[in-house]
A = this chain, B = another copy of it.
Amino acid sequence: MEKPPLPRTWMGPIVMGMENLSPRDLRDLIRSGKWRKPTSGACTGYVQANLVMLPQEYAFHFLLFCVRNPKPCPILDVLEPGHVSPRIATGADIRTDLPKYRVYEYGKMKAEVDDVSDLFHEGMVSFLLGCSFSFENALMRAGVPVRNVEEGKNVSMYITNRNCTPSGPFSCPLVVTMRPMSPAHAIRATQITTRFHLTHGAPIHMGDPTEIGIADLDHPDFGDPVTIKEQEIPVFWACGVTAILAATSEKIPLAITHSPGHMFVSDLKDEDLTLL
């Protein structure tokens, strides 16, 4: 399987001073071509989302794939065919308001562009899916250290031996992120992320990585390895890259996604995504 390029989950220094930008201001900057950088770290406290656009004839089965695999593919918003304004972002245009997009044909990346207006048509359906930025912020606020953030690295991601529940042409293994933690922090992190059921929710596994088919934590499939200290256990969460893998398979003639780290920034606040 071809690996998608690295998502950047922490781009703090790049956007220093931009934490307090409003989502609408950021989207305006992006649309006018003044922001082509990753969005990680911008608009702190607001929900960022993965984007998948597909032709209408694949929309039912992709929506069903997300419904059947809610932990890796939590649905924040789905636009009607041909619609461009998400309900979760006032005045936004999904064709222009992400800093970078990728265009895939039959599983091959064909282009990376900063505007997809010319590719978008009446039959395109856009899906916005939750990402883990929201719960990482919540973990840090609760005093649970997040190693990839501490080390200024991309989070470690692994392809597991667990298959997602397929739907029509969509089928792929579950991809997870891993954050090493003390057992006490792993318990607290489980409590905190359980609340965030629209951004991957509780961990799917902790402890022995071989149980989910991961041979070597030092060699993630995507992202960077991080330090695992003594007495720490690896804690694994379902990862939104799963949805990207499913949408960009060789069975799908056209899929448009965000470029890794270049997310859609919504008007939702992280706390809007909590269950309790």
Contacts and interface: CB of A to CB of B under 8 A. Distances in A.
Interface stretch (A58-66, A134-142, A180-188, A230-238): A58-66
Interface size class of A (residues with CB under 8 A): 10 to 19
Contacts of A59: 60
Interface of A, helix, strand, loop or mixed by DSSP: mixed
Copies of this chain, complex-wide, total 2
A119 interface: no
Nearest to A61: B80
A276 B195 CA distance: 9
Candidate in A64, A68, A125, A276 with the most chain B CB atoms within 10 angstroms:
A64
Contact of A67 (B56, B75, B275): B75
A67 B78 contact: yes
A197 B215 CA distance: 35
Nearest to A70: B75
Given A63-B60, A67-B63, A275 B194 contact: yes
A230 B98 CA distance: 56
B67 A197 contact: no
- Closest 10 pairs (CB-CB, A-B): A60-B60, A59-B60, A63-B63, A64-B78, A67-B75, A275-B275, A194-B276, A63-B64, A60-B63, A67-B78
